Structures are given as C-alpha cells and as structure tokens.
Structure 1
Amino acid sequence: MRVALLTEGARPHPQRGAGAWCDRLAEGLPEHEFELYLLAGPGGFGAAERLSPAWRGARDLALWGRRPGGRAPGALRRRQYAGAYEELVRALVLPGQRAGFGAGLHRLAALAREDGTLPAFLASGHARRVLERTWRLPGADASAGQPLVRDVLVAADLLEQCLRPLSAPWYGTGPGGLGGADLCHVVGGGPAALPALVARHLHGVPFVVTEHGLHLREQYLGHREAPYLPQPSAGGAPTPVRALLLSFFRALTEETYRQAAILTPGSAHDQQWQRRCGADPARTRVVYEGTPAVDRPAAGPEPERPTLVWAGALEPGRDTELMLRAFARVRAELPGARLVVHGEETAPGYRAHCAAVAERLGITTAVDFAGRPGSLAEAWEGGTVAVFSALSQRSPRLLADAMLSGRAVVSTDVGVAREVVGPAGLLVPARDPHALAGACLALLRDEERRARLGLAGRLRAQERFAVEPVISAFREVYLELVSQYPAFPGGGDDGEGGRAPRPFARPAEYWLTDGPRGGRADAPRGGSDDPGGQDHAEELAEAV
C-alpha cells in the first residue's frame, strides 16, 4: 500500500523532524511504499538529499519564515476567504463557537485548492482587519487582555504560517497527491496533521497519529519563552497572542484526535493526556518508540570510586539542585563518592546557580560538570548508578537509554518514570533530597543489588523499546485500517450510484483489467458477490 508520512522539520522552537525513527519505519516495512511530506523551516529542509533508500520520494513545504509568493485573490474570492477565516477565528476566541473550527478549516482548504491564493489573503490587510474585528467581539475571551494593534499584527503573521499546509500542492488523486494514498501517517501532530485532515475530508483517506511527546504540551511549555512573541506582563499573565495561538493548537489537537482513525502515543502517560484532550480510548493504543540502542553492549566494569552520574538539560525542570542536595548527604556518608553531571545549559544562568549551590554545600571538589558527553553510552559507563531528579519526565528515551546500559537506575517518581522503570529500579518522591540520597546510598553500598537491578532494567528496556515490536505494531495498524476503508478512497465514481467502493467488494483480478483503472473499457466489473466476477477470473487465468 502507499503510505504518506507527514511530519515537521526544522522550526524556531522545539526541534521536530522525520529523523531516524521514520527511516526505521520505512526500512522495516519494505512491502509498503512510503512517501515523505515534510513541513520544513525557512528555505526547505533538504529532505530529498537526506532520504533513506526505503523512501519512494519526498516533498517539502516551508512552514516558517517568509511566505511563498503568489497572486492576491479577487474581490469575490476575498469575501469568501474572509467568511471562512472569520469562522475559524470565532472558534478560537468565542467559547460558544468552538465547534466551528473544523468547518472553517475545511472551507479555507477548499478555497485554497481552487485558486491557490490563500497565503496572499492571510498576509493581507483584509485578513488582519477580520482578525481584529472578530478578536474584539463582545463575548470574546479576554482573560489574557484586550489585543493591541501589535498583537493583531503578530498573531496574523503566526496564523498565516500555521495555516500554510492548507495551500500545499499535495491534494488530489494525481501523482504525489494525498488523495491517492491508502493512508496517511502523521508523526508529531500539530500543523503536520493539517494535510491529513484535508485528505480525510476531501478523499476519505484515513490517518494515524504518532506522538512521541505530546505536541500540544510542548506548545504550552515552549511558548513561555518564544522569542517572537511579546513578553508577559510583570505579573506573569499570558499575552493575547499567546492565548490565541495556544487556542489554535488546542483546537487543532482536538480536531485531529477526533478525526484520526488510530492514535499511537509513545507511552501510557501520553495516552492519559490524549484522553484529556478528547481522544477516544477505543482508538488509542500505546506503541513505544523503538531504539537501535537495544543492540548496544552493556556498560563495562564500574569505576573504582562510587560515582553517581546525572544526565539531562541544565534547567529548573530537571532539578539539578535536588541532585546536588541529595549528593551532599551521600558525600557525608561516603566521603569517597563523586557526582558527574552531563548536560548543556538551556536556562541562562542555571549552571552558575548550580555551581554556587555546590559551593555552599561544600561538595565542589567532588562534583564534575562535564558538559555534553560524546555519547550517552560513555556517560553511563562512567558511573556506578544513573540518577534522574526531574520534576517532570515527559519522554522515556533518556531513562530507557540508561537502563539499556545495565547500570542500576534511581529516578523521581514523575511522568513516565514508573511506567518505564517499574520494579527494575528505585523510585523516590520529587523534591525530596533525603529520599533520593537514601536510594543512592542503598545501591552504592550493595553491589549485588546494583547488578540485579541493572540486569533487570536492561532486559525490561530491551523488551519494551526494541525496534521489531514497533514495526510489527504498525504493520498490524496499517492492515487494520485498509481492511476498514475502501481501496482508492478518492475514486467515489467507481462505486454503484456514485458511492465510494466497499472494501473487498471486487476480486483482486478486477484491478488488473481495463476500465476505470486501465484496460478494456467493456471489461466485466463483477464483485465478490457478482457471479460474473468468478467467470472473469477464470477467463483471465486461462489467458495467462
């Protein structure tokens, strides 16, 4: 079958892209034809030059940066665009009209498909006036304050970029068109789901959504420091632009979850969040993110000195300060212990703050801020115990990598930690240096227990994060979907009475004959319940 895989590439905030995971998926399912549709950063992403041989081809669309050129719509079409755009904005700012988001989205997509002038309209003064007028309607959500003129200008520009996929040249049933795909697979959610929503609406193509970390949650976290948005007031309240943009992503996420045939979150923790956003539990199944690291050999002998190794971004959310305070207690019990901190500073000044904390605690000589390691395998090999002190553990990747090293793991019991570590490690409450220090000391003093937990953790991670189960899971998902949806969903004219053909309504031999799909125009069109279908199959067999 033909699978259209949609994802995002480079962008101003948290990086998302096709990456090695999509390559492994395409390489693991060689029986299918994969084509990449990439929403890239300014100037494109160079997708065609980076493709694995498993891909049939790639198409990209510049999502961020200067808008693509093109003619402006005429007066009549401009009014039609304005009506659809107003319906969309109303759904974002008026609490009672949330249900109109999908309708406005599809109206804009239909208009864009007819004449291709949507980007020019969204960047026009007319669109900004529609946005300003609708944003200031009585009853509009003003919890973030009334929008100023600068807010309207910034928000209009950001909405134009978010809606660019609606005007992508990817729709229709011709070569490269999403209407000719058997299914769409959205990786990452967000704007990458827009083409899948349009293909679902226009051609009935089902789509799968895979999220390794929820796109909506990352938007809420990322927009706090987005450099292109006006900064919050001194009281910390969100600006009108932030509120509008987050309302857009929230509505897009809810529409995506509602229309998706199957959702495959990367953890049960993410699955719970998806359900809070309206996902149907019956259409949701957890598929862990496989990693080739399962084939990596276990770490070698432990270092001579008892060493705690910590890895992650240097930011308050990772709570490196908690690790330092816990280590001070460990150091008091085991004077020969040391702590190695691997990671880059992502919050300005946080490394200096941690260094000052270590100095106040009197552990500076035993703490090594080692920066970014050459590889994670080297980081774990240099420690006796791997420790995680985060306030929120959203992704299982780092925990799983530490477990695959064969080192015993201690983690705060937050996010996905309990799901990933389970009984193969030690879990402690967040913000509790006494409990964290106690768990570290228990393992540093007990070599046999460290070895037992290290082996159990490695086996658990190998079972859950191997690549083969992931490939098998998506093979089953794809086959399940195509068995429920008609072949050639865009070809509604092939069904009786102009209706879309039923799944398996005709024998496979039908598609090898002439007629609507090629060959003799007078070829019999017998179905599985058509007596002529069997006769035609026998004639074809004799001819061969």
Structure 2
Amino acid sequence: MRVALLTEGTRSVAQRSAGGWCGRLACALTEHEFQLYLLGAGGGAEYAGPPPRGLSAVHELPIWGRRPGGRRPAVHRRPAFAAAYEELVRALVTPGERGLFGPALHRLAELAGQDGTLSAFLASGQAHRILERVWRAPGSETAAGQPLVRDVLVAGDLLEQLLRPLSAPWYDAGPTGLGAADLCHVVGGGPAALPALVAKHLYGVPFVLTEHGLHLREQYRGYRTAPYRWPVRALLLAFFRLLTAETYRQAAVLTPGSGYDRQWQERCGADPARIRVVHEATAGAGRAAAGPEPERPTLVWAGALEPGRDPELMLHAFARVHADLPRARLRMYGEEAAPGYLAHCRAIAERLGIAPAVDFASRPPATADAWAAGSVVVFSALSQRSPRPLADAMLSGRAVVATDVGVAGEVLGPAGLLVPPRSPQALAAACGALLADDERRARLGLAGRLRAQERFALEPEAAAFREIYLELVSRWPAFPVGTRQPFARPAEYWMAGAAAAPAEEDPAGGAPADPLPAVPRVGPAEALAQARR
C-alpha cells in the first residue's frame, strides 16, 4: 500500500530522514511505498536529489517565514473567503462557536484548491479587519487582555503561516497527491495534521497520528516565553487546542509513544478505544553493553543544567553518599541551559564539601560513553516526558535510579529503582544501596537492558505499525460516498466505437440520457489508479 508520511521539519531533516524516525520506519516496512510530505522552514524549492533510503519521494512545503508570492482572490470570490475565515476566527475566540473550527478549515482548503489565493487573502487588509472585528466583539475571550492593532497584525501573520498547509499542491489523485494514498501517517501532530484532515475530507483517506511527546503540551510550554503579548499567545494556543481536538476526533488510530502520553491524550478528548501505545524505537537498541565498570564507585548524571532536571537534588544526595562512601565519585554530563546555572551548581558542591569528588563534564560525544563512565546512572528530573533517555541508559547495561515522575515508572518497571522527586534522602539511599551491592547492581543492569531491548527495539515498533496499517485499510471504506467508483461502466464502454455510439434518447424527449450520469467518464489509466486505491 502507499503511505503518506506527514511531518514538520527542515531541509536538513529530509536529507537525514534515512537515519530519523520516518526513515527507519520506511526501511523496516519495505513491503509498503512511503512518500514523505514535509512542512519545512522555508527558503528553498522542492527537495532536490534522490530521496533517502526507504522513501520513494520527498515533497516539501515552506510554512514559516516570508509569504509566498501570488495574487489575491478575484473580487467575486472574496466574500466566500471572508465568510470561511470569519467562522475560523469565531471558533478561536468565542466559547460557544468551537464547533465551527473543522468546517471552516475544510471550506478554506476547498477555496484554496480552486485558485491558490488563500495565503494572499489571509495577508490582506480585509482579513486583518475581520480578525480585529471578531476578536473585539462582545462575548469574545479577552481574559488575556484586549488585543491592540499590533496584536491583530502579528496574529494575522502567524495564522497565515499556520494555515499554509491548506494551500499545499498535494490534494489530488495523481502520483504525488494525497488522494492516491491508501492512508496518511501524521508524525508529531500540529500543522502536519492539516493535510491529513483535508485528504480525509476530500477523498476519505484515513490517517494515523503518532506523537512522541504531545504537540499541544509542547506548545503550552513554548508560548510561556514567546515574544508576543498575551492576547496573541492566547489566540495561538486556542488554534493549537482546537486543531488537536479536531485531529484526535478525526484520526482513525492514535499511537502515543508511552502510556503517560496516552493519559494526556485522553484528557484532551481522545477516544480511548482508538489509542494504542507504540513505544518509540531507540536507535541504539542493537549496540553492545557498556564495558567493565570504573575502578572507583561512580554515579553518572546526564542532562541539561537547568532547574527542571534538578541537578541540585543530585548534588545533595551525593553529599550523603560521599559521607558514607568517601571513594565515591559523581560525573555530571550536560551543558548549561540556564544562564549562570553551572556556576550555581559548582557553588553548591563547594558548600557541601564535595567539589573534589564532582566532575562537571560537557556533553559527551555519545550518550553511551557517558553511561559507560559510571557504575550507576541517575535521573533526578522533576518531569520526564520522553522515555528515550531512560531506555538509552538501560541499554548500556548499567543499573538505573530515577525519580518517579512522568514515564519513569513505565519505562523502568521492576528493572530499576524509583524514588520520590525532591527527596535527597531517598535518592541517596537508593544510590548507596546499589554502589554497596555488586551482585544487585549487575542483576538490575542486565534486567534493564533486556527490558529496553524488548520494548524499544525497531522490530516491535515496526510489527505494531504493520498490524495497524493492515487492520486500518481492511476495515476502512475504500471508496467513500460521492467519489468515483472503479468498474462503474461495463467493459464494452471502453471499446473503440462504443463510447462514440449514439446514446439512448431520454424517454421524456430531450437530450440523450447517460445510463450512469453520476459517474464522469475517465480514462483507463485513471480508472486503474482508482482501483488500486
């Protein structure tokens, strides 16, 4: 079957996709044909050169940056654009109009497909006046503050960029069109889901949504420090919130990367019956285990030096371990993510009297080198959204201790030690117990490695998606109502002369009657393409 992979990225991501998640999946499922549809950062033409291994083609659409050139809609078509855009804005700012979001998206996509002038309209003064009028109308949400004129201009420009996928040249049934795909696979969510929503609306193509970390959650985190005023942030977050809800509602299957993400999807309105957890494969699942442990008992901590990773907890816990085991050492790998935080951590180590035993190292060439430098790997974060760092550490064969937050309990299970967050006593006790017991440390390290290989190797992930693809296509209607049906005319119709033969007269008198007037005449090649779909 033909699978359309839809994701965000840049040109360099497309070039590296053979080593990325999309490329690994395509190489693992060689029985299917994969085409990558990439929403890029702009500043370039269509992807050039041969597609990466595993992908039959790569198609790019710039969605960020300068608006592509083009004319505005004709005068007689502007009212239709204005009405659809007003419905979309009302859905964003009026609590009782949320249901207009999906239909407004589809209407804008239909209008964009007719003349390709959507981006020019959204950047016009008419669109800005609509946004300002609806945004300031009575009943609109203004808890973040009344929008100023500059807010209208900034928000209008950002909405134009977010809605560019509706104008993508991919909505047809040709060899490169989404209408010819058996299914779409959206990776990451957000704007990448827009082409899948349009393809489902126009052609009935089902789509799968894979999220390795929730797109909506990351948007909420990112907009806390975005360089916009609060009204603009509130409007954009409303767009992502409604887009996520519409995507969850329309997706045939949702495949979060962890049970932790599944809980968040359910809280955001996803149907639990359509959610299947598929653990993201780790690229290093096949690598060998780390070599012998260092001669001196060593704790390894790796992560960004910032408050969320809580390196302070690690330092206070190590002070207790060092008091009981003076030979112990601590290696902290990571780059400074908050200004002055490295100096802050060094000052804490000095104050606790453990500075000579603590080594603040920069990021290692490979994470496997960091894990191999220690006897025990420690994660002290206040939140753990991604299972990849934990799984990567487990694959090294080292025993792992982690705070019981996010996905930690799900990933480690019985193959590691979990402690409460912000508890130096509990973390010190777990680390000290493992450093003092060689047999237990080796047993947990081996158990963790086997658990990670079982859950986070490429083969289980590929098998899960192979089953999802086949099940989805087998139970989804291949030709939705309203689309052209294959083999709707008898074979004699396509014979030379048969098509040119006089048609039967309408019994009531008048124009000749087509025996199948609802089915347009298509050529054999197009009929064959439809049958393949």
TM-score (norm 1): 0.87
Show the 5 A alignment for 1:203-214.
Answer: 203-214=203-214
Over residues 316-361 of structure 1, what are the superposed CA-to-partner deviations in whole Å (9 max), with x where a residue is unaligned?
1111111111111111111221111112222222222222222222
The corresponding residue for 2:22 is 22
Report the alpha carbon displacement of residue 74 of structure 1 after superposing the two structures with TM. 2.1
The corresponding residue for 2:313 is 322
The corresponding residue for 1:2 is 2
Contact 1:294/1:404 (<8 A) preserved: yes
3-state SS in 2 of match to 1:39: strand
3-state SS in 2 of match to 1:133: helix
Rounded to whole Å, the distance in 1 between the matches of 2:17 and 2:164 is 17
Show the 5 A alignment for 1:384-395.
Answer: 384-395=375-386
Change (3 A) 1:490 1:40: farther
Over residues 221-259 of structure 1, what are the superposed CA-to-partner deviations in whole Å (9 max), with x where a residue is unaligned?
111223x424xxxxxxxx111111111101000000000
3-state SS in 2 of match to 1:59: strand
Show the 5 A alignment for 1:123-138.
Answer: 123-138=123-138
The corresponding residue for 2:465 is 474
Report the alpha carbon displacement of residue 426 of structure 1 after superposing the two structures with TM. 0.5
Rounded to whole Å, the distance in 2 between the matches of 1:403 and 1:140 is 50
The corresponding residue for 2:336 is 345
2:207 counterpart of 1:195: no
Rounded to whole Å, the distance in 1 between the matches of 2:403 and 2:80 is 54
Q: State the identity %.
A: 71
**Residue type matched to 2:115 in 1?**
D
Rounded to whole Å, the distance in 1 between the matches of 2:147 and 2:457 is 49
Choose 372-381 or 349-358, whichever is displaced more: 349-358
Rounded to whole Å, the distance in 1 between the matches of 2:340 and 2:97 is 44
Contact 1:10/1:45 (<8 A) preserved: no
Change (3 A) 1:329 1:141: same
Contact 2:298/2:376 (<8 A) preserved: yes
Change (3 A) 1:427 1:496: same
Choose 200-209 or 350-359, whichever is displaced more: 350-359
The corresponding residue for 2:349 is 358
The corresponding residue for 2:428 is 437
Rounded to whole Å, the distance in 2 between the matches of 1:174 and 1:350 is 55
Rounded to whole Å, the distance in 2 between the matches of 1:154 and 1:350 is 34
Contact 1:315/1:345 (<8 A) preserved: yes
Contact 1:182/1:488 (<8 A) preserved: no
2:272 counterpart of 1:281: yes
Change (3 A) 1:339 1:182: same
Rounded to whole Å, the distance in 2 between the matches of 1:514 and 1:345 is 74
The corresponding residue for 1:229 is 228
Report the alpha carbon displacement of residue 295 of structure 1 after superposing the two structures with TM. 0.9
Q: 1:266 aligns with which of 223, 244, 257?
A: 257
Report the alpha carbon displacement of residue 49 of structure 1 after superposing the two structures with TM. 4.6
Count of matched residue pairs: 495
**Residue type matched to 2:421 in 1?**
A
Choose 481-490 or 366-375, whichever is displaced more: 481-490
Q: 2:476 aligns with which of 464, 482, 485?
A: 485
Rounded to whole Å, the distance in 1 between the matches of 2:176 and 2:2 is 10
Contact 1:180/1:488 (<8 A) preserved: no
Contact 2:18/2:52 (<8 A) preserved: no
Rounded to whole Å, the distance in 2 between the matches of 1:346 and 1:292 is 25
RMSD: 2.3
Rounded to whole Å, the distance in 1 between the matches of 2:329 and 2:347 is 17
Over residues 26-64 of structure 1, what are the superposed CA-to-partner deviations in whole Å (9 max), with x where a residue is unaligned?
111111111000001122498555842221101001111
**Residue type matched to 1:37 in 2?**
Y
2:240 counterpart of 1:249: yes
- Structure 1: where are the runs of 5+ without partners? 231-238, 499-509, 523-544
Report the alpha carbon displacement of residue 495 of structure 1 after superposing the two structures with TM. 6.6
**Residue type matched to 1:298 in 2?**
A
The corresponding residue for 1:90 is 90
Rounded to whole Å, the distance in 2 between the matches of 1:53 and 1:389 is 39
Rounded to whole Å, the distance in 2 between the matches of 1:253 and 1:521 is 51
Q: 2:446 aligns with which of 440, 455, 462?
A: 455
Over residues 151-197 of structure 1, what are the superposed CA-to-partner deviations in whole Å (9 max), with x where a residue is unaligned?
11111111111111000100011221101110000000000000000
Rounded to whole Å, the distance in 2 between the matches of 1:409 and 1:521 is 75
Rounded to whole Å, the distance in 2 between the matches of 1:54 and 1:320 is 41
Show the 5 A alignment for 1:104-183.
Answer: 104-183=104-183
Contact 1:93/1:141 (<8 A) preserved: yes
Over residues 77-128 of structure 1, what are the superposed CA-to-partner deviations in whole Å (9 max), with x where a residue is unaligned?
2221111111111111111111111011111111101110001111112111
2:368 counterpart of 1:368: no
The corresponding residue for 2:286 is 295
Over residues 371-406 of structure 1, what are the superposed CA-to-partner deviations in whole Å (9 max), with x where a residue is unaligned?
111101100000110000011100000000000000
Rounded to whole Å, the distance in 2 between the matches of 1:355 and 1:494 is 71
**Residue type matched to 1:188 in 2?**
G
The corresponding residue for 1:234 is none
The corresponding residue for 1:535 is none
